[in-house]
Amino acid sequence: MQQLWQMILVQIREFYRNPGILFWTLGFPILMAWGLGIAFTKQGEPVKHVAWVNENSSSKTITNFIGADLNHKKIGNDKSGYTDYIFEKATWNEAIQMIKRGKVAMIILEKGDSLQYQLDPKNPEAQLAQLQISYALKNGNITADSNEIQTFSQVGTRYIDFLIPGLMAMNIMMSCMWGISYTLIDRRGKKLLRRMVATPMNKSLFLFSHLITRIMMSAIEATLLLTFAYLYFDISIQGSYTALISMIIAGNVIFFGLAVLTSSRTSNTQIGNGLINVVVMPMMVSSGIFFSYHNFPDWITPVIEKLPLTLMADNIRSIFIEGAGFSQVWPALAILTGTGTLFYLIGLKIYKWY
């Protein structure tokens, strides 16, 4: 028992004598909880956006429903709370584009004397919006609603069409950050980098070889994911394959640069885990991979849109479901490639090989 107690004390001393481990183990989870709490805990009523289409229709149902509030309408009651619905007036094509980009979950089409709810029945947010609006339109009598519910028939409007491009972008990030950063930190901790530097090895080529390997792995992963999505979900690429390949390469460049910068100093794998997570976790949660980042408060949306994962996911999604080509995505390609190169040069400058 005395030996066991002494060994426990050794582990505890190693833990609290390393400030880095102490911060990433105890402090970082609190910071993450604080950040996500701010992002997801909105003050006041939640806000939801709905596309409203009225093309050559004499119906005034939505206009009368909204009243003097222009495009805002609070729906709910004191017991269940209120939701502030914003009705975005748009043409049919604009509304479809909003759906594809995750800005709205449902379209209300005023057709003749009735309404038509256009939505994906597998999207719970759209289902809830339809029920709440229908309930409010009929003054609480949901059975009196004779309006039609239509399932989206346009390509790219399903939730799975939104999800697959985001997963492809996230795979590139995770592959680079864990496959490169953690590997380099682990090798430094085991003195392997020191031994390799002692050989006639070009340091830049050593790091560059990781980028080439990750691009090759990303090509294999993307091919397998696309094949599965096509066979099982009938998902196809509407845009340019050249643009998609270029975006995959640019995504690898930006996260390769981040991986080199993240792994440039520490040799402790526990600190390395924390550094990688501080890069990966905020983007994985907020960049619109599993749900639209427009669900976040408006003040943080401009920041989210500039994150590397958001930029990559949005442009891959536009290639998949909006038919974007190289001319539409080249600004994002330039930003990702340039920023990744800058991160790599900074990381190489401060890199700790010994």
Q: Residue 235: its pLDDT value, please?
A: 84
59: phi > 0 → left, psi -120 to 50 → alpha, else beta; which? beta
CA distance to 168, 186, 232, 306, per residue, from 256 (Å): 16, 17, 32, 18
280: which residues sit within 8 A by CB, 6+ positions away? 173, 174, 177, 178
Q: How many CB atoms lie within 10 A of CB 214?
A: 22
Cβ atoms 278, 232 nearer than 8 A: no
340 contacts 253 by C-beta, under 8 angstroms: yes
Collect contacts of 199-205 with beta carbons under 8 A, ≥24 apart.
Answer: 203/348, 203/351, 203/353, 204/348
SS3 89: strand
> Which uninterrupted H or E stretch holds 334?
helix 326-349
Query: What is the secondary structure of 220-283 as a DSSP string?
Result: HHHHHHHHHHHHHH-----S-HHHHHHHHHHHHHHHHHHHHHHTSS---HHHHHHHHHHHHHHH
Pairwise CA distance, residues 89 & 52, whole Å:
5
What is the per-residue burial (b if ≥16 Cβ within 10 Å, else e) of 255-282?
A: bbbbbbbbbbbbbbeebbbbbbbebbeb
> What does the domain layout of the chain look like in residue ranges?
2-39+154-350, 47-139
SS3 label, residue 56? coil
Instruction: Say which CATH superfamily domain 47-139 falls into.
Output: Periplasmic binding protein-like II (3.40.190.10)
Residue 251, phi then psi, degrees to nearest 5 = -65, -40
The reported pTM is 0.74
Query: What DSSP element (H or E) covers 86?
Result: strand 81-89
Ordered per-residue pLDDT tens for the chain, 354 residues: 788 788 777 777 766 676 666 666 666 667 767 666 665 555 555 778 888 887 666 666 777 777 655 577 777 776 667 777 888 888 888 888 888 877 887 888 877 667 788 887 777 778 888 888 887 777 755 454 556 777 766 666 777 888 889 989 998 998 889 888 988 998 888 888 888 888 888 888 888 888 888 888 888 888 898 888 888 888 888 888 999 999 999 999 999 999 999 999 888 887 888 888 888 888 888 888 887 787 777 778 888 889 999 999 999 998 988 888 888 899 999 999 999 999 999 998 998 887
